[in-house]
Each structure stands twice: as C-alpha cells, then as structure tokens.
C-alpha cells in the first residue's frame, strides 16, 4: 500500500539532522523552500544570526491591510543518545503499527508539516483567505530562542508582517483530550556562588564554602517540596500553575584533601505566572544572606514578562474562532499554562495573542525523550484539524 504523501514529507523532514550542537540548517532551509514552491507561497530566508536562517512563507490574503495569522514552528531538535533508541533517531523508521520514530516527531517537526499539508489541501480545494497567512520556521528554540524568534520579532520584516494572532507548539496528551496552552512559565536558571576559606581537608575550617552550599541547597529544596505538595494536594492545579525548582549543576573543588575557596550550584527554575518575580528574587537574596558571607547569585537568563492570552468566551475573537473550530472537529480541549518555554513568549510580549497547540492525543509525552514517536494516523488527523482551524482564523472578520 502506497504511503500517504503527507507522511512521506513528514518523514523526510525528520531525516534532516537539525540536531544540536550542530544543526544542519542549510539542508533544512533548502527542503522548506521546495515545500514553499509546492504550496505556492512566497519564500524568504532571513538570518538575524549568520548560519541560523529563519524561513518565512507567506500566502497573501484578500485584504492585506487586516492583521495577519502567524503559524510558527521551530526547526531545531535536542541531542540524542542513539544507544537508547530502538531505531536510528534520524531514520524516521515506521513500524508495523504506523509509529514513526525520530527526534522531532513530537517536538515539533510534525506541526510544521501539518501546517503545510493542511494549507496544500485547502489551496487545492480553491480556498482563499481574508487575512494573510505567514508560516515561520525558526532556529534556536531548543537553546532558548534568543537568536531565533527572539531576534526576529524586532526586525523590520516581522513588523511588516502585521501579525494579529499566532499559533505555536504545545505537546501531546496521553488521553482522548487535546492540550491548548494560553501562557507559559518563566524560565529563570539561577547560579549560586558560595565562597569560603580554603585549606587542608583534615580541618574543621570556619567560613566553609561547603557548609554554605548545603544551606543554600536546603532552602531551594524546601521550596521545591512546598510547590510539589501544592500540586499534589490540589486536583485543580496543573504543572504550569506551580513553580518548579531542580538542582541541575554542581561546580567546584580541585582534589579530595583541599577545601575549595568556591563552590557553585545551579538550579533550573520555572516561575509560574502567578508568582511575582521581584518577590521571588528577594526570597533568594534572603537565603543567600542566611547561608553566610560571600554567597551571591545571578540569573543566567534574561527575564521575560509574563503575558497570557485571554481564553474567555466572547472576550477574545481569536480565541472564539479557535475554540469554535475545535468544536467543529469534536475536540475535547484542556486549557493550561505551558510548563516549559516556547517561542510564543516573544509573540505575547508584543501584545499579540498566541496559543500553543499540537494536535496530538492518545500519545505518550516523549518530547526530549528517547524513542520519540508519532503514529501516522495521529499525524494525519492533525492535518484535518488544521484544515478547520486555519480557515477559521484566517477568515475572521474584523
């Protein structure tokens, strides 16, 4: 039985090794250019940073003065450990159940191709859109996004796009339902430095960097436990509603018998939208003061303003159009705060409403995991869903 051409396109996209630390962005851009020609879309390649191309495809609307629709996806994928995979993570192997294995099958090359395939079908049926549709395929999302969408939103090209609403990634739902994300937590990686008196490892030295480090770690982990208990004790809360803290880095020491002059600990912090960042920073300052002299901290990433998209019926026409299209497709949706970080944050910072949505259900959440896969029927169903959602947005009357 011949494979559906949309599935073939998806598998070919997975085979392009846009994996960090050395993504093959050139091969990816060339592939996307061929897809733009097939779609009949205008094509541009913009480099805010040399070697990190942003691909922009445009389908002009009947009234280009109206605010446009942005369909965003990222082209890069996270590193792999091939020894832990059933199949080569860039072979796009399809098993007898129709499961397609490969890095990026869920995060998020599936969505980029689903946009394209849905629009190809709509165009083939003679569909025309009131508003202009832009598709962006951006680099660098998996390393923070600063040199991808983060820079692109400040360019004249983006401003000229006149974006009024954006769609970006979500992730799979293991149940029958579909996740829709209307905001996200703020990633605030923090590094704490504990300085103290160095000396021989046989002594009980005062002003010890190790003792200070222990106090700092205890404070962070106590806070972590409180947030963890808050989530587990309230069935109405989701992961995106609480702040997560995880110890991810430890640095210091030269050899066993030398008490170091400095020890460092790094925490991955994801701040919930309900948490005041200034107050959170003050709390860390108190912890460091309590630990002793010479304990300092710094955030390793610039803070991003917490902006959420209105999802109240009747108060946001973009939401109304999106949710109505979901109802037409009989989708049971769950609205949540995205627990991690996506390029949507850069869109929302500009005051542009945006939703995170990957049309994947009945599928384990495997983004960044070994043996990431997506079933071809789920993938094809996602195209059908976008065939309803995209026109609903692009034909929204002013």
Shared domain for 238 and 345, answered yes or no, is: no
**Rounded mean pLDDT of the chain?**
97
Shared domain for 332 and 284, answered yes or no, is: no
SS (H, E, C) the chain: CCCCHHHHHHHHHHCCCCECCCCCHHHHHHHHHHHHHHHCCEEEEEECCCCCEEEEEEECCCCCCCCEEEEEEECCECCCCHHHCCCCCCCCEECCCCEEECCCCCCCHHHHHHHHHHHHHHHHCCCCCCCCEEEEEECCHHHCCCCCHHHHCCCHHHHHHCEEEEEECCCCECCCCEEEEEEECEECCEEEEEECCCEECCCCCCCCHHHHHHHHHHHHHHHHHHHHHHHHHCCCCCHHHCCEEEEEEEEECCCCCEECCEEEEEEEEEECCCCCHHHHHHHHHHHHHHHCCCEEEEECCCCCCCCCCCCCCCCCHHHHHHHHHHHHCCCCEEEEEECCCCCHHHHHHCCCCEEECCCCECCCCCCCCCCCEEEHHHHHHHHHHHHHHHHHHHCCCC
Shared domain for 257 and 328, answered yes or no, is: no
Shared domain for 295 and 312, answered yes or no, is: no
Of 76, 140, 169, 376, the active-site residue reads: 76
User: Which of the listed residues 247, 279, 299 is the one where a domain comes to its end?
Assistant: 299
The total domain count for the chain is 2
For the segment 169-226, what is each residue's pLDDT rounded down to a tens digit? Answer: 999 999 999 999 999 999 899 999 999 999 999 999 999 999 999 999 999 999 999 9
Shared domain for 67 and 124, answered yes or no, is: yes
For the segment 42-98, what is each residue's pLDDT rounded down to a tens digit? Answer: 999 999 999 999 999 999 999 999 999 999 999 999 999 999 999 999 999 999 999
Question: Catalytic site residue 384?
Answer: no
Residue 148 scores a pLDDT above 90 = yes
For the segment 339-371, what is each residue's pLDDT rounded down to a tens digit? Answer: 998 999 999 999 999 999 999 999 999 999 999
- The whole model's pTM is what? 0.92
Question: Catalytic site residue 141?
Answer: yes
User: Which of the listed residues 299, 323, 354 is the one where a domain comes to its end?
Assistant: 299
**Mean pLDDT throughout 375-396?**
98
Of 140, 141, 336, 372, the active-site residue reads: 141
Predicted local confidence at residue 302, as pLDDT: 72
261: domain range? 189-299
For the segment 304-321, what is each residue's pLDDT rounded down to a tens digit? Answer: 777 999 999 999 999 999
């Amino acid at each position: 039985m011949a494979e559906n051409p949309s599935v073939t396109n998806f598998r070919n996209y997975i085979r392009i090794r846009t994996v960090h630390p050395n993504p093959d962005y050139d091969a990816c851009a060339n592939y996307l250019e061929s897809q733009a020609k097939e779609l009949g879309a205008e094509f541009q390649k913009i480099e805010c940073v040399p070697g990190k191309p942003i691909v922009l495809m445009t389908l002009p609307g009947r009234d280009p003065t109206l605010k446009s629709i942005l369909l965003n996806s990222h082209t890069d994928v996270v590193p792999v450990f091939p020894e832990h995979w059933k199949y080569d993570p860039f072979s796009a192997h399809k098993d007898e159940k129709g499961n397609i294995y490969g890095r990026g099958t869920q995060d998020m090359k599936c969505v980029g191709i689903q946009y394209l395939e849905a629009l190809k079908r709509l165009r083939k049926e003679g569909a025309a859109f009131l508003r202009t549709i832009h598709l962006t395929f951006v680099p660098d999302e998996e390393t923070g996004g600063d040199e991808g969408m983060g820079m692109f939103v400040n360019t004249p090209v983006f401003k000229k796009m006149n974006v009024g609403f954006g769609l970006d990634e979500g992730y799979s739902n293991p149940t029958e339902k579909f996740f829709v994300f209307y905001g996200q937590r703020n990633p605030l990686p923090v590094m704490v430095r504990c300085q103290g008196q160095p000396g021989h490892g046989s002594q009980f030295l005062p002003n010890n960097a190790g003792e200070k480090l222990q106090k700092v770690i205890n404070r962070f982990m106590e806070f972590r436990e409180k947030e963890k208990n808050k989530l587990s004790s309230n069935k109405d809360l989701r992961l995106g509603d609480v702040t997560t803290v995880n110890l991810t880095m430890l640095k210091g020491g030269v050899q066993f018998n030398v008490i170091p002059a400095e020890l460092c600990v790094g925490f991955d912090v994801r701040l919930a939208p309900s948490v005041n960042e200034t107050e959170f920073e003050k709390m860390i300052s108190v912890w460091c003061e309590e630990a002793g002299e010479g304990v300092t901290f710094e955030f390793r990433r610039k803070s991003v303003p917490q902006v959420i998209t209105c999802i109240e019926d009747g108060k946001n026409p973009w939401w109304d159009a999106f949710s109505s299209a979901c109802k037409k497709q009989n989708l049971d949706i769950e609205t949540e705060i995205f627990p991690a970080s996506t390029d949507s944050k850069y869109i929302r910072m500009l005051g542009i409403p945006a939703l995170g949505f990957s049309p994947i259900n009945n599928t384990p959440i495997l983004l960044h995991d070994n043996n990431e896969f997506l079933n071809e029927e789920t993938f094809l169903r996602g195209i059908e869903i976008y065939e309803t959602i995209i026109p609903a947005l692009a034909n929204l009357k002013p």
